[in-house]
Structure 1
Amino acid sequence: MSRQSFTPEHAPAAAGPYSHAVRIGPFVHTAGQVGVDPQTRAPREGVEAQTRQALENVRAALAAAGAGMGDVLRVGVYLTRAEDFAAMNAVYREFFDAPYPARSTVYVGLNPGLLVEVDALAVLES
């Protein structure tokens, strides 16, 4: 199987040696997406807005590879502050329906101004 790299149409260039999304066979994995507006490249204000933007960026990366949010098997969420969990979770529910993907949420350090990062693994039917 060959590995294919995908970049959403209006996404900013990758900040390092990585792809926005990679597909091998039926598997699509996104890079971590943050709450940065793809047009202005500025972080959104607050964890709700950043979570929404990060998930929109995940959606765009998946779409570039031919996948959608309904194809997502697993999600990784990375928060800078534990107290933002409930607010992130409320926005997260807007993007996924039951049965929900498996998910891990961990607390990490991100670049200044960033509160959340999200990545996803999707599986497409053959």
Structure 2
Amino acid sequence: MAEEFKPVFTKDAAPPAGPYSQAIATPHGIYVSGQIPCKPNGEILTAPSSSIAEMTELCIQNVSAVLKAAGSDLTRVMKVGVFLTDMSHFAEMNGVYEKYFTGKPARSCVAVHQLPKGVLVEIECVALP
């Protein structure tokens, strides 16, 4: 069974915040773990010095880098999950999101009480290889 999937890691995205892979690649799909607004060097974008738009942009850049390391890209994303700590950020997040996910994959967006490292947004996805 281990040959059917492999962990994905790239130094071009945020390092995992815990004991998990940035993604798992299988012959049928790439499952990208939630990406937070964290630079590859570990620097986390926070309010008020960074906007939700900037944070969302960095989350998507991280998703894109992980997909690239797995041999895929944003055009092959089938499902996206967006987590916000406050739905008042929805419109600003959505403005950035729609620039990148032009294929309009299926999506969920939910408000959560809090996210790891105190971030305000996190994005995960499933893509085709």
Calculate the TM-score normalised by the size of structure 1: 0.89
Matched to 2:12, the amino acid is H
The equivalent residue for 1:82 is 87
- Unpaired runs of 5+ in structure 1? none
The equivalent residue for 2:13 is 11
Shift of 1:77: 0.1
The equivalent residue for 2:56 is 51
The equivalent residue for 1:34 is 36
How many angstroms apart in 2 are the aligned matches of 1:113 and 1:69? 26
Aligned counterpart for 1:25 among listed residues 24, 27, 38: 27
Equivalent pairs counted in the alignment come to: 123
How many angstroms apart in 2 are the aligned matches of 1:18 and 1:12? 12
How many angstroms apart in 2 are the aligned matches of 1:38 and 1:93? 23
Shift of 1:33: 0.1
- Unpaired runs of 5+ in structure 2? none
TM superposition outliers: structure 1 runs of 4+ over 4 Å: none
Shift of 1:40: 4.7
Shift of 1:10: 3.0
Identity %: 35
